[in-house]
Amino acid sequence: MAENDDELEELGISTSLTRRQLVRRGLGGFLIAYAGALPKVAAAGVPKYVHKHYKNTLKIIQWSHFVPAYDVWFDKTYTKNWGAKHDTDVQVDHIALAQLPARAQAEVAAQSGHDIFGHLSPQAGLEDQVINHKEIIQEVTRKVGKVSQVGFKSCYNPKTRKWHGFPENYVPDPIHFRKDLWNQVGIKPSTWDDVRRAAPKLKALGHPVGLGMSNELDSNMLLIALMQCYGAFIQNAQARPTINSKNTIEALKVMRDIYKRGMTNEVFAWTAASNNQGYLSGRLALAVNAISIIRSAEDANPALAKNTSVAPIPRGAVQRLGLEHVMGVYTIWKFSKQKALATRFIADLEIHYQGAFKNSKFYNFPAFRGAVHNYATQLAADPHKGKYKVLDLIARKYTANLGYPGFSNAAIDEIFNTWLVPQMFAQVAQGKMTPAEGAKAAENEFKPIFAKWRARGKI
């Protein structure tokens, strides 16, 4: 005998509305009501003639800025005003940071896409696909002064004498630390030795330090910066791999020690957002990251923001030297049909960088220092009690390019994008290799990469 609605329905003898009938009818009604949109939407694509009174079209793609207001300013104010002056419809598309490389490769494969591509790291590997950006460099230099060393060494190839990208901005990479917790343990994170001493005490308090050793951007930047502080480098100024050195071994020992006594093994599985989230949840006592952490805390957790200090990277045995957290690099593809317009746009943006600097909440520092004036005054005027003044010092003195003391070349690009440095540190920290073995293994991986790009004439 049928006992439930489904069986009654199948037998066709149900007299009342079953649950399933109700859901079906409701969904059906919703779909019918909505179907009016289908033909219109199916025919939609990029509206080709929205601004048909503009002569030109310029297409830009860049990341979704962590400050939503920056994208609103860029998309709806800056580009619209610039476009009106230059009879151009400027179309700006955004993409998540992690998808930028794949999107770039897709546009190269298709030989079609955006006129201006906004990367977040130097793209030496794409040198053959882009124009020589020398003209823009010269134009901006004439107007606001020379490009910074960071910008120069990130986007210029001395071998081919080509500017493979335009360095638009770079982002200083400070440490964020919990004043209250570090006061409790009676130490300040001024040197890596201080961090080493404090780490176990902080872990005992339930607030470990957060230094990633994972295949992600923050770990890459932090660990290369740590190496620099100990005088260890991936390459020398002549683009020869120098990873296997006693300085690298020392840096590996420091990190292994910090991990064993003061961190948890989650750091081997982190993503780019993990240190942000760990810090914002109140768990981590220290993180190395751009100011997205503290700016998020100001909105989400003001009490935490008040207890957070921002400082330069700790000093190592040799020096205090960090890296840019990310570097905004604009490239113009060779296949672009709007090279002149794209050149003009980038030059104008950099020459008048004040708006970008301010609307990014001081995240974007111009690669041409003269493009913004009165850094100290502006940073001090931030409502959060001058906390960001230190960013100017970090940007001027403690930020090097990826590949320092050499240039950011294609070999550095490949080593960076294949996470070889975090893997070296992770292997040593987990005890799978000794520091000496780790440095040697890394050298064995780096040498073929350098040889390959040397053979291709890029370094």
Question: Which residues of the chain form contacts with another protein (CB under 8 A)?
Answer: 6, 10, 20, 23-24, 26-27, 34, 37-38, 41-42, 44-46, 61, 63-68, 91, 93-97, 99, 102-103, 105-107, 109-114, 218, 272-273, 275-277, 280-283, 289, 292, 296, 298-303
Residue with tokens 């939609």: 44
Q: 249 or 287: whose CB is closer to another protein?
A: 287
Q: 6 or 87: whose CB is closer to another protein?
A: 6
To another protein, the closest distance from the beta carbon of 271 in angstroms equals 8
CA 276 from centre of chain: 13
- Tokens at 410, concatenated: 């294609």
Q: 93 or 257: whose CB is closer to another protein?
A: 93
Contact 235, 412 (CB under 8 A): yes
How far is residue 421's CA from residue 212's CA, in Å, rounded to a whole number? 12
To another protein, the closest distance from the beta carbon of 253 in angstroms equals 29
Q: 23 or 381: whose CB is closer to another protein?
A: 23
User: Is the backbone peptide bond immediately before 167 cis, with ω within 30 degrees of 0?
Assistant: no
CA 321 from centre of chain: 19
How far is residue 393's CA from residue 90's CA, in Å, rounded to a whole number? 35
List, in order, residues 6 or more apart from 386 with CB less than 8 Å away: 379, 380
How far is residue 238's CA from residue 217's CA, in Å, rounded to a whole number? 25
Q: 91 or 427: whose CB is closer to another protein?
A: 91
CA 74 from centre of chain: 18
List, in order, residues 6 or more apart from 249 with CB less than 8 Å away: 435, 436, 438, 439
Write out the H or E segment, with its range, that includes residue 328.
Answer: strand 327-332
To another protein, the closest distance from the beta carbon of 343 in angstroms equals 21
List, in order, residues 6 or more apart from 42 with CB less than 8 Å away: none
Q: 27 or 269: whose CB is closer to another protein?
A: 27
To another protein, the closest distance from the beta carbon of 114 in angstroms equals 7
Q: Which amino acid is at 261?
A: R
- For the chain, the first-to-last Cα distance in angstroms comes to 82
Q: 190 or 264: whose CB is closer to another protein?
A: 264
Q: Is 415 helix (H, G, I), strand (E, B) or coil?
A: helix
To another protein, the closest distance from the beta carbon of 44 in angstroms equals 7
CA dihedral 453, 455, 456, 458 (to 10 degrees): 50
Q: 36 or 431: whose CB is closer to another protein?
A: 36
To another protein, the closest distance from the beta carbon of 174 in angstroms equals 14
CB atoms within 10 A of CB 350: 27
How far is residue 432's CA from residue 424's CA, in Å, rounded to a whole number? 10
How far is residue 365's CA from residue 308's CA, in Å, rounded to a whole number? 22
Q: 71 or 348: whose CB is closer to another protein?
A: 71
Q: Is 399 helix (H, G, I), strand (E, B) or coil?
A: strand
To another protein, the closest distance from the beta carbon of 170 in angstroms equals 14
To another protein, the closest distance from the beta carbon of 419 in angstroms equals 17
To another protein, the closest distance from the beta carbon of 158 in angstroms equals 31
Q: 85 or 385: whose CB is closer to another protein?
A: 385
Q: Is the dihedral of CA 124, 427, 271, 387 positive or negative?
A: negative
Residue with tokens 């992600």: 216
To another protein, the closest distance from the beta carbon of 123 in angstroms equals 17
How far is residue 169's CA from residue 345's CA, in Å, rounded to a whole number? 15
Q: 254 or 284: whose CB is closer to another protein?
A: 284
- Tokens at 78, concatenated: 């800056």
To another protein, the closest distance from the beta carbon of 438 in angstroms equals 27
